[in-house]
Amino acid sequence: MAVLSCSRNGHPFASFAALAESISDSLPNVRAVIDGEICLLDRRGKPQFKNLLFRRANPLCFFAFDLLTCDGKDLRTERLLDRKQELRRLLARGCAPLKYTEYIDEHGTALFQRVCELDLEGVVAKQKSAPYVTEREHST
């Protein structure tokens, strides 16, 4: 299966062809659209955006947040928790460059504070019963 990596605006990421090939080799034979983030991890496993900009450090990985389509079925109107369950099933084989992101219910403020303490890049926040929203909301 071929993998195309592209921005939220639909622009292809030709510079990430090796990651796309690795994902293609890792996924079962399904056709899927996965929402996520390309990332580089440092020696401790911490995401480092600046390393991604300059392509330095460890191999690339892809943090998978959401599953939009799978085998021709549009999942965007399904609840987030249902889409994540399907995504977990899809990635159950432990696909090396793909990292499944857990849904954490409640304790959002404490989680955000911990992310800040660890100087991590950010948090993806979605309502567990919501359909997929294509427009990106602005943070305050």
Residue 41: strand pairing partners:
47
51-72 residue pLDDT tens: 777 766 567 889 999 999 999 9
Stated pTM of the model: 0.85
Q: How far apart are CA 27 and CA 22, in angstroms?
A: 9
In this structure, are residues 47 and 120 in contact, taking their beta carbons and an 8 Å threshold?
yes
Reply yes or no on domain 14-117 having CATH 3.30.470.30.
yes
Q: What is the domain partition of the chain in residue ranges?
A: 14-117
Show Cβ contacts of residue 28 under 8 Å, excluding neighbours closer than 6 positions: 90, 93
Residue 47: strand pairing partners:
41
The separation between the first and the last C-alpha atoms of the chain, rounded to the nearest angstrom, is: 40
In this structure, are residues 13 and 7 in contact, taking their beta carbons and an 8 Å threshold?
yes
How many helices (H) and strands (E) the chain has is answered by: 4, 4
Pick the closest to residue 46 from 102, 109, 108, 119 (CA basis): 119
- Note down pLDDT in tens along the chain; length 140 residues: 566 777 777 778 777 888 888 888 888 687 889 999 888 888 888 888 777 777 665 678 899 999 999 999 999 999 999 999 999 999 987 677 889 999 988 888 999 999 999 988 878 888 999 999 877 655 55
